[in-house]
Structure 1
């Protein structure tokens, strides 16, 4: 078990699509609702706030810290639960041989506790959902997502 003061989640994947389509899928509320949130609002402009709504108990907010069209989208959580509040997550996109190399990260977790480990697992499953959504148009109903 790690003893560092903060913990991080990293996932890399390849999506057969264009950087713009991937960027839209990770930044536009109507697309986020198809693979992650139940309801979402926000726009990919630095300083803007997103509302990531999952249930009444999980009605979270984050501020855009970086938004470069087709290249990067980063969020600093501002109002979530105790474990997520100090964290930031982001997607860095690079066009590569017929698709997009996606580097996902979620950093500054205060503890390597159950919630951190569960979130790491859920991100992996959700990112697979993002890939299937962008490549194949598959939408998994919210109730069936991890």
Structure 2
């Protein structure tokens, strides 16, 4: 099995503009993925996302916006040490590519950079599997949330 890139596609019954907001805005992101998010959705902005309660053992993860081209592409690096600038080799790159499709949007999510992290094989496999399982859990939550926003008057 190749542990280099995770790819998922999801059809969402919402416009690319709404889906872009849902994958790029901290307020929307925390409705389907992390429990909290703090960053400016512009390239170069550094912040963090939090899984669980920050003050009760939650996991705080560094987050840096790499690309933001509404309504087509949003990309960020994450998992890098908070005291380092995100780059290939110290972080994973997640890209959301949005394509109009029918009356909605086809979202393609790609997470890459696992092999560049320099992890031992066992850790590489563990991290890859954890991230694949995570995306399989969280991405399906995105579609109904975005569709609900689309349905608002």
Structure 1 residue ranges without an equivalent (≥5): 138-146
Larger radius of gyration: 2
Secondary structure, aligned partner of 1:26: helix
- Provide the aligned length of Structure 1 versus Structure 2: 131
Question: In proportion to residue count, which structure has more helix?
Answer: 2
* Residues 97-137 of structure 1: CA deviation (Å, up to 9, x unaligned): 11111110100113541221121021022110011211246
TM, length-normalised to structure 2: 0.77
Map 1:1-146 onto structure 2 (within 5 A). Answer: 1-2=1-2, 7-55=4-52, 56=54, 57-77=58-78, 78-79=80-81, 85-110=90-115, 111=121, 112-136=124-148
Structure 2 residue ranges without an equivalent (≥5): 83-88, 116-120
Show structure 1 runs of 4+ deviating over 3 A.
none
Question: In proportion to residue count, which structure has more strand?
Answer: 1
What is the RMSD of the two structures over their aligned residues, measured on CA atoms? 2.0
Secondary structure, aligned partner of 2:91: coil
Tell me the CA shift for residue 19 of structure 1.
Answer: 0.8
